[in-house]
Amino acid sequence: MELKLEDVDDLCTGAAFLGAGGGGDPYIGGLMVKEELMAGRRIEILDPDHLPDDDLVIPTAMMGAPTVLLEKIPSGEEPILALRAVEAALGRKAAATMPTEVGGINSTIPLFVGARLGVPVVDADGQGRAFPELQMETFAIEGVAGTPLGIADEKGDFATIRTEDNHRMEWIARGITIRMGGTAYFANYPMSGAEVKRASVKHTLSLARSIGRIIRTSRREKHDPFEELEAFIATTSYGRAKRIFSGKVVDLDRQTSRGFTLGAVTIAPDSGTGAHCTITFQNENLCAKADGALLAVVPDIITVLDAETAVPITNETLRYGQRVAVVAVGVPPIMRTPAALKQFGPEAFGLEEAYVPLAG
Amino acid sequence: MELKLEDVDDLCTGAAFLGAGGGGDPYIGGLMVKEELMAGRRIEILDPDHLPDDDLVIPTAMMGAPTVLLEKIPSGEEPILALRAVEAALGRKAAATMPTEVGGINSTIPLFVGARLGVPVVDADGQGRAFPELQMETFAIEGVAGTPLGIADEKGDFATIRTEDNHRMEWIARGITIRMGGTAYFANYPMSGAEVKRASVKHTLSLARSIGRIIRTSRREKHDPFEELEAFIATTSYGRAKRIFSGKVVDLDRQTSRGFTLGAVTIAPDSGTGAHCTITFQNENLCAKADGALLAVVPDIITVLDAETAVPITNETLRYGQRVAVVAVGVPPIMRTPAALKQFGPEAFGLEEAYVPLAG
């Protein structure tokens, strides 16, 4: 399937939704992708089920604090430099690229790389949403080695990391990202087509585009976008979506620290009285509670949307006084296994809450 | 010239002297080198003037906080892994290794590498002493590219950095070092034999061995080691050494921060009254003052020695109450050019003092 210019905005909206408040605003990435298409380059979205088993696939992405991304615009060459570093370490060229995460700007980075290099982009990723750390990947859970990892910045500096431990890969790459100014671009988990089929969350670029299209068209057609989203997601492997809170942003604690955007947002109910909803985040929203009661928790997706338009609001653009709705979405079975919960369930984020899959 | 087992302790003592309080205690490195020699391996010290112009030389070293080194013993494979990473990036094998700095443990790391790999160790370095940062090299001043840089830790993790800016090389490698636990091993400034001849401080391993021998034998022969050192150094390219203070350590402020050992030591005079001497350090001693008057400043070497034996005391082993003598040593002309002072003169360390070469 070829990605068309008119698909890009929908894909970005859906990626922001799946970004769970983090993942970086896809707006900048979307602009970069549109420029490529307008310059006549093609972007081929490849169904993972059609990928030859022996093909080498090298995922590409950005990392760091989304708040920094807004002020540190990429040159466009960074993820290509990162991919080239992995190719050099392996002594082999990539036949395709793909997202490491579908949420946020990282749905768009591999599209840009695919356009520039003339290789297809696999319609799958390793997070099925956005997560803040590099070991939080279904790729890792399924035994794919994280390194060689290539990492590059807008100055043209780059580095290659080799380690057998994905937590140390994350730890060292995060240290480099901080030194590169708070954001960097990377390529890791190089794998075969057969491994992509086994270890990825499939068809998530298509999912993002569909979610974005629903938010856009329901507004135009005066349908309730929240109802439409719930109905659509019920037909996917994610299974369930639910509006868990509505109200006004009344408090916001947001810091850029340790290479992440960290904090919490508090939302007062529409009624003016009753329990407030508090959502904590490490780039992505981790846990939503009201009066101490758990509403939703990772790996389920918690996204804050504009109360009227259902346009997703990423954490770096949250502001006091915004009228918002909070939507939670369940995740596919591959993301809820005991091994998956160990990588990116509540305990992996230091939360005390047990994982309770989103109730109906 | 072949390095003999009986030379190792002298070389380490001299390296500690040239380490200017930093550079890491060469004791651990000396043990590693002695083990290699006792296992029957040879260490060839090669005069840089005899090095073929086309030979590839890859210097090897450790970096990080010397205070951490004491508790994080290297496995021995780290600097070899770092050198291999540079070889892989260049697609070429090293014909020799050499020190990046002759002061402290970094005089011994390339000896170990040379023994293990069966390649000679060039009798020269890029600092003529120890300095805390990677861009502070005569190699850099003479236009040798700092990267590809390989960096490795005791877990077998390693990374390769490419940048055209030596300050960014230092900045990124230091970030990785912190993430690797505070110490790491690296190889950088790969260069030709011709470049070594032009860009290095020559015969500094021999210098370290001679200084160590003088300290050892003057004690045995009941000569004044300080007078002997001054007389010997007057015959070298360093030109001048001088005892600038004697007394007792009465205050010590020492922290491990930003990947360095930072602080200051205060020494009360032997007489009990009069000006105290304060020496500030960033791994290495930077500036010695008494009552606000400058006694010595970088790039001149400031070393604290045991008042009786003239054995050098590195900053991580300084203790309250020690009886010490402070010796300052001038540096060779290649280290005092305007370009050299820009790299590692007082201003490079944020000091307000102008460089005043050691007075007679």
Which domains, ranges and CATH numbers included, belong to chain A? 5-202 (3.40.1610.10), 237-349 (2.40.390.10)
Percent helix, strand and coil across chain B, each rounded to 5? 35, 25, 40
Cα diameter, chain A: 63
Interface test with A, best of B135, B163, B169, B174 (most A CBs within 10 A): B163
Is pLDDT at A312 greater than 60 in this prediction?
yes
Dump pLDDT digits (tens) for B204-249: 999 999 999 999 999 888 899 999 999 999 999 999 999 999 999 9
From the CA of B167, how many Å to the nearest CA of chain A?
12
Dump pLDDT digits (tens) for B248-258: 999 999 988 87
- Confidence at A236, pLDDT banded by 50, 70, 90: very high
**Is the distance from CB of B152 to CB of B81 less than 8 angstroms?**
yes
- Contact assignment for A176 to B172 by CB distance below 8 Å: yes
Is pLDDT at A67 greater than 80 in this prediction?
no
Dump pLDDT digits (tens) for A104-136: 999 999 999 999 999 999 999 999 999 989 999
Phi-psi region of A341 (alpha: psi -120 to 50; beta: other; left: phi over 0): alpha
Return the pLDDT at B26.
86
State the Cα angle at A300 between A298 and A303, rounded to 5°.
Answer: 100
Return the pLDDT at B25.
80
Structure tokens at B280: 């500030």
- Contact assignment for A176 to B171 by CB distance below 8 Å: no
From the CA of B329, how many Å to the nearest CA of chain A?
35
Q: Name chain B contacts of A158, Cβ cutoff 8 Å.
A: 161-163
- Contact assignment for A165 to B155 by CB distance below 8 Å: yes
Dump pLDDT digits (tens) for B43-64: 999 999 999 999 999 999 999 8
Average pLDDT over residues A261-275: 91
Chain B CA closest to residue A148: B159
The pLDDT > 70 percentage for chain A reads 98
Instruction: Tell which residue, A194, A163, A16, has the closest CA to residue A101.
Output: A16
Q: Which of B155, B156, B171 sits opposite A179 (nearest CB)?
A: B171
Helix A5-18 × helix A26-38 angle, to 10°: 160
Return the pLDDT at A66.
66
Return the pLDDT at B256.
81
- Contact assignment for B171 to A161 by CB distance below 8 Å: no
Is pLDDT at A360 greater than 60 in this prediction?
no
ipTM of the complex: 0.83
Q: Name chain B contacts of A155, Cβ cutoff 8 Å.
A: 163, 165, 168
Q: Which of A160, A168, A178 sits opposite B160 (nearest CB)?
A: A160
Gap between the Cα atoms of B231 and A94, Å rounded: 64
Q: Give the burial string for B16-39 (b: 16+ CB within 10 Å, else e).
A: bbbbbbbbbbbbbbbebbbebbee
Which residues, listed in sequence order, are joined to residue B45 by a DSSP beta bridge? Answer: B121
Q: Name chain A contacts of B171, Cβ cutoff 8 Å.
A: 179
Cα diameter, chain B: 63
3-state secondary structure of B285: strand
Q: Which of A159, A174, A179 sits opposite B160 (nearest CB)?
A: A159
Gap between the Cα atoms of A94 and A106, Å rounded: 18
Gap between the Cα atoms of B111 and B119, Å rounded: 9
Q: Name chain A contacts of B157, Cβ cutoff 8 Å.
A: 161-163, 165, 168, 172
Q: What pairing do the DSSP bridges indicate for beta strands A121-122 and A45-46?
A: parallel
From residue B105, how far is each of A138, B19, B35, B130, B332 by CA, in Å?
43, 8, 15, 10, 21
Chain A CA closest to residue B169: A157
Structure tokens at B270: 């032997």
Q: Which of B159, B162, B178 sits opposite A157 (nearest CB)?
A: B162
Chain A CA closest to residue B86: A160
Mean pLDDT check: name the lowest of A63-72, A174-183, A230-239.
Answer: A63-72
Type of residue at A246 = S
- Contact assignment for B176 to A171 by CB distance below 8 Å: no
The pLDDT > 90 percentage for chain A reads 85
Gap between the Cα atoms of A151 and A164, Å rounded: 17
Q: Name chain A contacts of B175, Cβ cutoff 8 Å.
A: 175-176, 178-179
- Contact assignment for A175 to B179 by CB distance below 8 Å: yes
From residue B176, how far is each of B104, B168, B257, B278 by CA, in Å?
21, 12, 14, 32
Chain B, window 67-126: residues with a beta carbon less than 8 angstroms from a chain A beta carbon: 88-89
From the CA of A339, how many Å to the nearest CA of chain B?
24
Q: Which of B89, B157, B171 sits opposite A163 (nearest CB)?
A: B157
End-to-end CA gap in chain B: 34
**Is the distance from CB of B7 to CB of B21 less than 8 angstroms?**
no
Dump pLDDT digits (tens) for B291-329: 889 999 999 999 999 999 999 999 888 999 999 999 999
Q: Name chain B contacts of A163, Cβ cutoff 8 Å.
A: 155-158
Chain B, window 130-189: residues with a beta carbon less than 8 angstroms from a chain A beta carbon: 155-165, 168, 171-172, 174-176, 178-180
Gap between the Cα atoms of A9 and A214, Å rounded: 12
